[in-house]
Amino acid sequence: MNDTILKCEDIMVEFDGFKAVQGMSLTLKRGELRFLIGPNGAGKTTMLDAICGKVRPSGGKVIFKGTIDVTRKKEHQIAEMGIGRKFQAPSIFPTLTVEENLEISVRQDRGVLATLFARMKPEQRERIDAGLAMIGLQDKGSWRAGSLSHGEKQWLEIGMMLLQEPEILLLDEPVAGMTDRETEKTGALLQTIAKDRSIVVVEHDMEFVRNFASKVTVMHEGKLLTEGTMEQVQQDDRVTEVYLGQRRDRHADG
Ligand SMILES: Nc1ncnc2c1ncn2[C@@H]1O[C@H](COP(=O)(O)OP(=O)(O)OP(=O)(O)O)[C@@H](O)[C@H]1O
């Protein structure tokens, strides 16, 4: 059985001649929770953008499920195929309830209003209830999404993604701005999700990575620097060097 779900080969992304990603490769397995780390400007977010079709790679390939070449496909086509992307800012509907937000995700083929006024099938109801339980918001289904805490909004958005049944979730700094407790809960949520889906998380919070990562990919200057367990990458002098270099640059700036 081939357990590779995503293979990025030699990805290049250029912005007006500036090479933000220069030959990055990454292989993700089914059921894997992978953390993508590296100093500022390493190309981590751009790599996620290249996978989900937000930017077009100028070189390389993104192969989904062994045979599907999604390189240069349109963003919505890639999302429909099963690669979901969550950005840092939540894109929930704040004036709708938590449940209504989830309903919209379940029935995205219809417009927002049609979704809210149409009858829900029992199967859809069940999926929404399961989604609410998964993200730990079962007691807040009738709350207005705008009144949730920052962390809860992020979970709602993850729940909305899950209801679209992606096989891969791409998350950009999901715990930024969260309290310690929310961060812990998010780590546990991601581990639960990764039981039957694959996740790539771009992250700067090293304590979070240490607590929840089994495999870490380190990027630097648009390329793969190293890969392994957190202990392995922490012992790699090159990793220390690029992070220290960044700190030095910051001091120089300030
Ligand atoms: N749309 C764009 N146009 C021009 N340059 C860009 C664009 N997006 C990113 N870059 C540049 O590409 C490089 C990589 O950026 P990217 O955001 O992918 O890095 P990152 O590793 O995610 O950094 P951070 O951790 O700070 O978010 C940076 O030098 C950035 O300034």
Question: How, if at all, do strands 198-202 and 168-172 pair?
Answer: parallel
Tell me if residue 194 falls in helix, strand or coil. Answer: coil
How many folded domains does the chain comprise? 1
Kindly state if the Cβ of 217 falls inside 6 Å of ligand 1.
Answer: no
**C-beta separation of 5 from 65 below 8 A:** yes
Quick: pLDDT tens for 218-248: 999 999 999 999 999 999 999 989 887 666 5
Q: What is the pLDDT of residue 251?
A: 58
**C-beta separation of 208 from 28 below 8 A:** no
Q: What is the pLDDT of residue 111?
A: 61
Please determine, for residue 119, whether its predicted confidence score (pLDDT) is greater than 90.
Answer: no
Q: What is the pLDDT of residue 29?
A: 96
Please determine, for residue 149, whether its predicted confidence score (pLDDT) is greater than 70.
Answer: yes
Distances (CA, A) of 116 to 106, 146, 151: 11, 18, 25
Please determine, for residue 250, whether its predicted confidence score (pLDDT) is greater than 50.
Answer: yes
- For helices 122-134 and 150-162, give the axis angle rounded to 10 degrees: 140
Question: Dihedral of CA 159/41/25/245: which sign?
Answer: negative
| CATH at 192 | 3.40.50.300
Q: What is the pLDDT of residue 254?
A: 40
Closest of 65, 86, 55 to residue 193, by C-alpha: 86
The protein residue whose alpha carbon is closest to atom 30 in ligand 1 is: 41
When comparing pLDDT for 110 and 208, which is higher? 208
Which one of 19, 22, 45 would you pick to mutate in the ligand 1 pocket, going by the greatest count of ligand atoms within 8 A of its CB? 45
Structural domain span for residue 93: 4-252
Quick: pLDDT tens for 73-116: 999 999 999 999 987 777 899 999 999 999 988 866 556 666 56
The protein residue whose alpha carbon is closest to atom 24 in ligand 1 is: 40
* Residue 74, token pair as written in the block: 């349109």
When comparing pLDDT for 156 and 114, which is higher? 156
Kindly state if the Cβ of 20 falls inside 6 Å of ligand 1.
Answer: yes
**C-beta separation of 47 from 23 below 8 A:** no
The maximal CA–CA distance of the chain, rounded, in angstroms, is 60
Closest of 242, 212, 216 to residue 229, by C-alpha: 216
ipTM of this model?
0.96
Q: How long is the chain?
A: 254
- Share above pLDDT 70 across residues of the chain, in percent, rounded to a whole number: 90
The protein residue whose alpha carbon is closest to atom 16 in ligand 1 is: 43
* Residue 68, token pair as written in the block: 């599907």
What is the residue-averaged pLDDT of the chain? 91
Give the mean model confidence (pLDDT) for residues 112-123: 68
Q: pTM, whole model, 2 decimals?
A: 0.91
